Structure 1
Amino acid sequence: MSRPPVNPTDPAEDKSGAPGPAPAARPAAIAVIAILAALEGAALLAVAGWYGFQLVSGAPVLSFWGAVFTLGLLLAFSAWLFAVGHFLFRGYRWPRAGALVAQLFMLTIGFPTLTGGYPLAGLAMLVPAAIAIVLLFDKRVIAFASRAGGQPPAL
């Protein structure tokens, strides 16, 4: 059985059979950023669990429905961070922006926490955020995380 000739102008196919450039090797920085995003998501999930327990156990709140809304935001942001970590690890393009926004939020909360008398909590937010931001702009990370989802463009 013969194979069809290879045309160098045709796009390469990956193992799934989808046309596109050949996948690059996953850089270690992608795994570090994905793990940081997943750990941040797990921390937010733990905070949401604690917040929900406090809400159910009768802790005083100014507005019950405001507290429920805050709980929903914590859960949604946690799920978003898990999705960012997962799809960034797989090499998609969109999670880079999501990871950058999450790290900028961490910086925004980490600096006042650090200067407000909680240095360990502030450093726990600032150091991973700074590491992730630096790694997000590494050329190997950008080259790896350039896969677009869905169908190829129409034009």
Structure 2
Amino acid sequence: MSRPPANPAQPPPDSNGNEDRSAAAPVGRPADGSLPKTKRPPGIKVISVVVLLEALALLTAAAWYAFELLTGAPVLTFWGAVFTLGLLLAFSAWLFAVGHFLFRGYRWTRAAALVAQLFVLTIGFPTVTSGLILPGLAMILPALAAILFLFQPNVISFASRTGGTEGAL
């Protein structure tokens, strides 16, 4: 007979093998140790939409890049262009995952969303200063809004879920 793995945060079972989880549940959490059901803050929705729109923009750029590559647009190296296409697709998939799991409240997504917004800002500011005002503002304003929402206390408290026993996908 196998035992489930021991969790050091839970009290040990009594002599009969029964676990008394009701006494050891942290304040504000259900007795089963899961996170309490809270209402999703509007900041989470805004950040998720911004990240998902960025993922769609990268996917669109990848589709356009693939079309140009297939129609014979001149490139320095073919395999370098294929690698660039792979990077566009990988980053798009990564942003889709970040947006999805941020909406569900996972902790790791806050850092990933912040890094993505900082990358967008590093492209958006030179775009504005080179004279392309509207495309640059279309990158800068959502990124700044997402960064501001990322540091709101209700967003931080909602997006504090760690991996559980259920599958990630």
Fold match, TM over 0.5? yes
- CA–CA distance in 2 between the matches of 1:10 and 1:109? 46
Matched residue type, 2:158: F
Q: CA RMSD in A?
A: 1.8
1:24 alignment counterpart: 38
Check the 8 A contact 2:35/2:161 in 1, yes or no: no
- CA–CA distance in 2 between the matches of 1:135 and 1:43? 21
Q: Residue 146 and residue 6 in structure 1: after superposition, are their counterparts in 2 closer, same or farther (change >3 A)? A: closer
1:10 alignment counterpart: 25
- Three-state SS of the structure 1 residue aligned to 2:75 is coil
Q: Residue 145 and residue 58 in structure 1: after superposition, are their counterparts in 2 closer, same or farther (change >3 A)? A: same
1:144 alignment counterpart: 158
2:15 alignment counterpart: none
**TM-score when normalising by structure 2:** 0.80
2:108 alignment counterpart: 94
2:90 alignment counterpart: 76
Identity rate of aligned residues, in percent? 62
- CA–CA distance in 1 between the matches of 2:115 and 2:37? 26
- CA–CA distance in 1 between the matches of 2:65 and 2:21? 59
CA drift of 1:100 comes to 0.2
1:51 alignment counterpart: 65
Deviations 1:71-110 (A, max 9, x none): 1110011111110000000000000000000000000000
Aligned: 1:119 with 2:127: no
CA drift of 1:58 comes to 0.1
- CA–CA distance in 1 between the matches of 2:145 and 2:57? 17
- CA–CA distance in 2 between the matches of 1:38 and 1:7? 39
Runs of 4+ in 1 over 4 A off after TM superposition: none
- CA–CA distance in 1 between the matches of 2:37 and 2:107? 13
1:38 alignment counterpart: 52
- Three-state SS of the structure 1 residue aligned to 2:25 is coil
CA drift of 1:63 comes to 1.1
**TM-score when normalising by structure 1:** 0.87
Deviations 1:34-87 (A, max 9, x none): 011001100110010000000000000011111111111100111111100000
Aligned length: 144
